[in-house]
Structures are given as structure tokens and as C-alpha cells.
Amino acid sequence: MSLHKASLRKVFRDRRGALGTEVRADASRKIAERLALPAAYQNAREIAAYWPLEDEVDLRPFIALALDAGKNIFLPRVNKAASRLEFCPFDGRTETLANGPFGLLEPQTDEATADEIDLVIVPGLAFDLHRHRLGYGAGYYDRFLKTVEATAIGVAFDIQTIDILPIAEHDVAMDMVLTESRIF
């Protein structure tokens, strides 16, 4: 991990953490509404999403909308032993989620699949205008995205965007990035 990426992670964690609860909720609602517009969503049947950490873009309204539209939702589970993400079916029942690594709420099921996923909604600490992502540093999403033929949409708040990020050979660019006011 480069020192530059580590310092950028701190900057963007601090920026995101400084957003007020109401601002974060309003921006998350706008992002959720925008996620339902692209053809990638309209054509998708199997969507990999995520259950948000406290200050991430809150995808719960989007997940509810997608479930109501008959889409199949999958949430990530961290397999630390294999150093990979596994996506498990989620039917909307929060009681099926439990604490996992990194403070994530994860599905508690033996079933996992990535074979049929059409669309992956990806969190990040920052995104640049070229759709590159600054993740949390473990590379889980980059490794997963290299294994599927799915559209990847990064989501972030406006304050999590930057003109250009340092990238490494293993970094995977998104097909699209959505914020509350921009699409790139």
C-alpha cells in the first residue's frame, strides 16, 4: 500500500465522517433514486449490493426498491481465509444479518454465488473522474470484480470525489460512478 493512498484514505474517511446525519440521509436517498434509473439496473435481475457502515452511502432504500421490483439482491460476506468476497442471497429480513469482519453486517447463510450477478454496487472512500476507486485497502472488491462479467457502479457522496486518484495495476475501474448530484 502506498503512503499516498493511506493518507488519502484518512482524508476521505474524515470528510465522509464529518457529514451530518441529515445531509448523509438526504444524499443517500438521492443516490438510491438515481441507481434505479440506468439501463444496467433496469436490465439486471441479480444485484450485488452492500449493507452500509454507519457513514457510507445508505443503500437500504435502494435494496427495498429493488426487492419490490422483483430483483434478487446479494450482500457480501468476507471470507478472510480465502481473502475474497462471497455474495449471498438477501431477502430483506435484517434478522438474517450478523456481525462480520471489519464491522460489516453480513448474511448468515451457507449459500453463496456470483455466477449470475448482473450489477454490482460498490462502496468506496473516494472515486475520481476516470471512475477509479479508492477502497479500504484490502482489495476484496477489486479481486471480486475481476471474476464477474457484471456492470460495476460506484456510489459515494459528492465530497468523496477527486479529479484523479493514484492507481495500481490490480485496481478495477467502475463502469459508472453516482453521487447525489453527478454521474461519471
Query: In this predicted structure, what is the pLDDT of residue 102?
Result: 83
For residue 79, give its domain range: 3-178
Tell how far CA 3 is from the center of its chain: 24
130 vs 114: CA distance, rounded Å: 26
The number of distinct structural domains making up the chain is 1
Residue 132 lies in a domain: yes
150 vs 71: CA distance, rounded Å: 15
Residue 184 lies in a domain: no
Residue 138 lies in a domain: yes
Residue 62 lies in a domain: yes
Residue 164 lies in a domain: yes
Q: What are the per-10-residue average pLDDT scores of the chain (184 residues)?
A: 80 95 96 93 96 94 96 93 91 89 84 83 97 92 94 98 92 96 94
0.75 exceeded by pTM: yes
Query: In this predicted structure, what is the pLDDT of residue 2?
Result: 56
Query: In this predicted structure, what is the pLDDT of residue 122?
Result: 98
Contact in structure between 89 and 60 (CB atoms under 8 Å): no
CATH code, domain with 26: 3.40.50.10420
